[in-house]
Amino acid sequence: MKKSTEIAFIMAGIGIAALWAMLGRNRKRRSSLIEAPIKGGANAIPKNKNEEDAFQEVLDDINPYDPFNNGGHPNYNRLHKNPFKGLGGAGVKLNNTSLYKKLQQNYESTQLTLTNTSDIEREVRLWAGNKKPPISPALPGDIADHVFRTITASVNGSTGIYPQGIVVNPYNRFTYIANQLSHNISVLNSDGIVISLIPIIANGSSPFGASPVDLTVNSHPNSPNFGKVYVANVIGDTVKVINQQLEVTTTILVGKRPIGITFNSFNSNVYVANIGDDTVSVIDTITETILTTIIVGKAPKSITIRPDNGQVYVINSGANSISSIDVNNQVIDTIENIGNELATASYNPMNNHLYVVSSSKNTVIPIHLDTNVPSTAIPVGANPYHILYNPNNELLYVGNRADNTYSIIDTDTVIDTLSLGMVDTSMGIDSATGMIFSSDSTTGVVTLISYSRESNTILINGGYYAKREDFTFNPAIVQHVKFILSGTQRFKVLKLEEESVTGTTQVKPISFSSYHNPQNFGNVAEVFEMKGAIIDGKNGWVFKIAGKQTITIHTYYKQFESENILEYAILNQKNSKV
């Protein structure tokens, strides 16, 4: 029988509340003994005492009914053995040489070694085995920690046929995908599960359907139409409006062959690139009617917005130029001689540059928008098409169709290349989480790119996970913890987190400024206040590790043995009534 099952039976017999109440009394008493030297009072350690003296007093001061004490219990001989692994002596005076020898003789120990291989400070979480938290979560800049999964079209067309444009709605965190050949919109919830298919009906009796290819969303939180989605339909020359209840409510006639569509949060208008008549239709989202039509360059394909001033940039694929439109819907400049087969562009607010994809040249061209002058082209993968800016890590992602890779650009350099599933013409991003969606029209696959829970920048010795599992089912009580840190940097606070039965978390901060031992070699902290802490499925330790730092943690503890918990608990209850 597994220990976890044994404990379940035992707890059912004596009541888990009574057992933990008993342990809580012991923990409370230990905490008062340890906090006294910090807070002052009758038991305060005089300033002239060093940490070894303090450590000695903590070891000496043991409750006679404490399960750590092997000889003080009046019924010890009758009980035969303590319900904790290892039998420790109490009240023995320690000298300099026997300090840790005594701990090693009377307590079990575990040693953890963590190394931060990155250059930045990271948060670390240990234990709390019920939730199995990542030791250190991946951060948006951890390129190597990207992971992906896919959603594939099934027999019933769950993700639609020939998926094209993608947008994430900040109103409901749903993802909308325009399916060109099945003439519908797939709606995915925040878990990436298809929850709805919205049919897009063509106007009149066209046998070819509406052919939705791109979409955008009203992302202005103060707008009465916040969360409405606008769909460009290349056949029928229309834009369909989908409300917050996932219903098509309005059809708006635009120019010929609308192929790209973008919402401008600066003026709450929607801009539609009509590749068939070299125009841009501007939709007033309040009246849901055409506000104006703007003549631009040849074969406009896609539109990018500069959000701080509402400037609109239209990629003219047939002229290899960009039309710049101001908030008054006037063409104020045309940027020419940029590159061949211009496809899409993305605005980077960190340097006020527009990054334009040249598919045939396998490059991305930065343009400084203060001067509208192109800079040196950045080589990327084969046949790039879509580019987007990720505000979570301030990086640009370029989808390369010919080699199914993503080039990651930081300002003017490709810092990494990822192979994460099929790559085609469209990408979208959830700005709140940084999750990227990419569609492959030929296979019907939609790729969801995010980060793993666990950062690979933090290394820990392999025995940790087995120890965490052991403590989850066989809790331990801490006697002493010693931290040894490389370098000179120290974290200021260690937090003990305890989850209650109601799911709330109580946090006890421990200031590390009180635990620096100048007598020891290296950067050492003897943390007396952790004595009595329980390591189980609910309790965890949280602290920071500096960049390129290694921290070694020696923990001395005693652990419950499930076969003796019942006997010990009954005996302790009897003694508490005396």
Q: Kindly state the helix (H) or strand (E) to which residue 30 belongs, with its residue range.
A: helix 16-39
- Which residues span the domain enclosing 55? 3-139+456-577
pTM of the predicted protein model: 0.70
Task: Provide the residue-wise pLDDT of the chain in tens; the chain has 578 residues.
Answer: 444 444 444 444 444 444 444 444 444 443 333 333 333 333 333 334 454 555 555 445 433 334 434 333 333 333 333 333 332 333 333 343 466 778 888 899 999 999 999 999 999 999 999 888 999 999 888 888 888 888 764 434 456 788 899 999 999 999 999 999 999 999 998 877 889 999 999 876 566 789 999 999 999 999 999 999 999 999 989 999 999 999 999 999 999 999 999 999 999 999 999 999 999 999 999 999 999 999 999 999 999 999 999 999 999 999 999 999 999 999 999 999 898 999 999 999 999 999 999 999 999 999 999 999 999 999 999 999 999 999 988 999 999 999 999 999 998 999 999 998 888 888 999 988 889 999 888 888 888 898 888 999 999 998 999 999 999 999 999 999 999 999 888 888 999 998 877 778 889 999 877 665 554 456 888 888 899 899 999 999 999 999 999 999 999 999 865 445 455 445 555 554 54
- How many whole angstroms separate alpha carbon 290 and alpha carbon 268? 13
170 part of a folded domain: no
- How many whole angstroms separate alpha carbon 565 and alpha carbon 474? 11
The answer for residues whose C-beta is within 8 angstroms of residue 306's C-beta and 6 or more apart is 312, 313, 347, 354, 369
570 part of a folded domain: yes
Tell me how many degrees the CA angle 394-542-39 measures, rounded to the nearest 5: 130
110 part of a folded domain: yes
Q: Are 297 and 318 a contacting pair, CB within 8 Å?
A: yes
216 part of a folded domain: no
The answer for residues whose C-beta is within 8 angstroms of residue 340's C-beta and 6 or more apart is 320, 358, 359, 360, 361
399 part of a folded domain: no
Alpha helices in 273-384 (DSSP H): none
Task: Look at the chain and report how many structural domains it folds into.
Answer: 1
7 part of a folded domain: yes
420 part of a folded domain: no
288 part of a folded domain: no
Q: Are 455 and 155 a contacting pair, CB within 8 Å?
A: no
